[in-house]
Amino acid sequence: MPSIVPNSTWVAPPTPQTSSSCTEEEGHKTSIYTPIVISSTPAAASSTKPAEVYPPAPKPESSKPAPVPVYTPPVDLPIYSKPADTPKPAPSSTKEAEKPAPSSTKEAEKPAPSSTKEAEKPKPTGSYSNGGHIVTKGDKWAITYTPYAADGQCKTAGDIKTDIKKISEMGFTTIRSYSTDCGVFENVVPECQKYGLKVIYGIFLEGGGAGGKGPFSSYANSQLEDIKNKAPKDSVAMVIVGNECMFNNNCQASELGSYIDYVRKELQGAGFPKDVAITTTEPVGTWEEKGAALCDHIDVFTVQVHPYFTASIAAGMAGDFAAQQLEQAAKVCPDAAAKGKYITEIGWPKSGMSNGLAVASPENQKTAMKAIMEKVGPESCVFSFQDDTWKAPGALGVEQYFGCADAIY
């Protein structure tokens, strides 16, 4: 059993100043998304099993005024769940936000590294992989991309052009965008079109339900309208409704499921292909604890896996761990997983503190990303294209250093 290690703290970037790459249509000025500070309550912990928790994120200090609030993507990194044969923990009645506990996994249960890599590389399977929306190239599929500069402001159109060109040259076929701000449709999507890249679009949900920023709110619906009105229909890889919304206690499964159905109806009514998957994504433990109620509402199964935050996983074990976690989580919704199962965030930091066997360094990042790409690359959206230096360093000092372009270029 690894010792308890504080997990990460994620914060939103400072509100970007208005720039040429942060444009808004006149009709959306009252519903531009606001910066998010993610906090969460822990998953349950028994007397023998550590909990899946991490501390609330402090708000970043910024002396810059925010003329227009802008939505920023959530990027919480969870502690991942127990091995497949471990009982699920009971719900906890206490909150231990300052004492996150990494999970453990059994060495004997890890699949052995393959000596015939090419033959054993996973290939996306299921009906949603056959419509031309999920496109892979060798061991690569997708990478997360946010158009933020080092200071959290919107990148220039020129910088975005350089980034998207590099992503294409790296061999990725798809980017994941968490939001529609900072020139996503003005600058990012046109460059993706130029290089034939698909886009995983996101509708982020906060708390408060329809009257706040949750499902069916104007906050959520304005993002949906952006996608309906601006997304090229041939560019959509999938749409993710709510990023770790249940983990962060911002959504109940029933309302999230209903909203996923609503998004699907609206997009198909607007002419988007019926084989574009509409889904949501959560950490492994959240799927196991709360996710069964969503199975009838999602088209494919997607999950967040970050090996570094499990203290018993060294860099070279990241690929086997990811494959095991994907299979374990997918058992929650087997019908959806049969149509397609994917990891929507996975990476390794290049700098920061050690977390048991998980050591953050440039060498270990290269080792981990190589293992990840070999084992689950065609099913994974790697995190992230660039370092996010505008973030707080977090409890382990790693939050700014998940940029992996140089590790897998």
HEC-encoded secondary structure of the chain? CCCCCCCCCCCCCCCCCCCCCCCCCHHHHHHCCCCCCCCCCCCCCCCCCCCCCCCCCCCCCCCCCCCCCCCCCCCCCCCCCCCCCCCCCCCCCCCCCCCCCCCCCCHHHCCCCCCCHHHHCCCCCCHHHCCCCCCCECCECEEECCCECCCCCECCHHHHHHHHHHHHHHCCCEEECCCCCCCHHHHHHHHHHHHCCEEEEEECCCCCHHHCCCCCCHHHHHHHHHHHHHCCHHHEEEEEEEECCCCCCCCCHHHHHHHHHHHHHHHHHCCCCCCCEEEEEEEHHHHHHHHHHHCCCCCCEEEECCHHHCCCCCHHHHHHHHHHHHHHHHCCCHHHHHHCEEEEEECCCCCCCCECCECCCHHHHHHHHHHHHHHHHHHEEECCCCCCCCCCCCCCCCCCCCCCHHHHC
Q: Could you tell me the CATH number of the domain that includes residue 373?
A: 3.20.20.80
Report the range out of 10-19, 48-57, 340-349 with the highest average pLDDT.
Answer: 340-349
What local confidence, expressed as pLDDT, does residue 76 receive?
A: 37
In terms of residue numbers, what domain contains 371?
107-408
Task: Examine residue 320 and state whether it is found in any structural domain, yes or no.
Answer: yes
Cα separation, 190 vs 335, in Å, equals 35
- CA-to-CA separations, 200 to 150, 152, 332, 363, 378, in angstroms, rounded: 23, 22, 23, 29, 15
Assess whether pLDDT exceeds 80 at residue 266: yes
Q: What is the mean pLDDT of the chain?
A: 77
User: For residues 317 and 361, is the Cβ–Cβ distance under 8 A?
Assistant: no
More confident residue, 28 or 276: 276
Of 404, 395, 393, residue with least CA distance to 348: 404
Task: Examine residue 238 and state whether it is found in any structural domain, yes or no.
Answer: yes
- Number of domains observed in the structure of the chain: 1
Assess whether pLDDT exceeds 70 at residue 353: yes
More confident residue, 202 or 39: 202
Assess whether pLDDT exceeds 90 at residue 188: yes
User: For residues 197 and 174, is the Cβ–Cβ distance under 8 A?
Assistant: yes
What local confidence, expressed as pLDDT, does residue 145 receive?
A: 96
Report pTM.
Answer: 0.72
Task: Examine residue 130 and state whether it is found in any structural domain, yes or no.
Answer: yes
Of 102, 91, 85, residue with least CA distance to 3: 102
Percent of all residues in the chain with a pLDDT value above 90, rounded to a whole number: 65
What local confidence, expressed as pLDDT, does residue 378 receive?
A: 97
Assess whether pLDDT exceeds 60 at residue 26: no
Task: Examine residue 303 and state whether it is found in any structural domain, yes or no.
Answer: yes
User: For residues 285 and 78, is the Cβ–Cβ distance under 8 A?
Assistant: yes
Render pLDDT for 238-257 as a digit per residue (tens, 0 to 9): 999 999 999 999 999 999 99
Task: Examine residue 151 and state whether it is found in any structural domain, yes or no.
Answer: yes
Render pLDDT for 373-400 as a digit per residue (tens, 0 to 9): 999 999 999 999 999 998 899 999 999 9
What local confidence, expressed as pLDDT, does residue 187 receive?
A: 97
Active site residues: 244, 345
More confident residue, 283 or 55: 283
Render pLDDT for 56-95 as a digit per residue (tens, 0 to 9): 333 333 333 333 333 333 333 333 333 333 333 333 333 3
Percent of all residues in the chain with a pLDDT value above 70, rounded to a whole number: 69
> Which band of pLDDT confidence, cut at 50, 70 and 90, is reported for residue 3?
very low
What local confidence, expressed as pLDDT, does residue 180 receive?
A: 84
What local confidence, expressed as pLDDT, does residue 109 receive?
A: 36
Render pLDDT for 100-154 as a digit per residue (tens, 0 to 9): 333 333 333 334 334 334 334 445 557 787 889 999 999 999 999 999 999 999 9
User: For residues 308 and 398, is the Cβ–Cβ distance under 8 A?
Assistant: yes
Of 10, 6, 3, residue with least CA distance to 390: 10
Assess whether pLDDT exceeds 80 at residue 237: yes
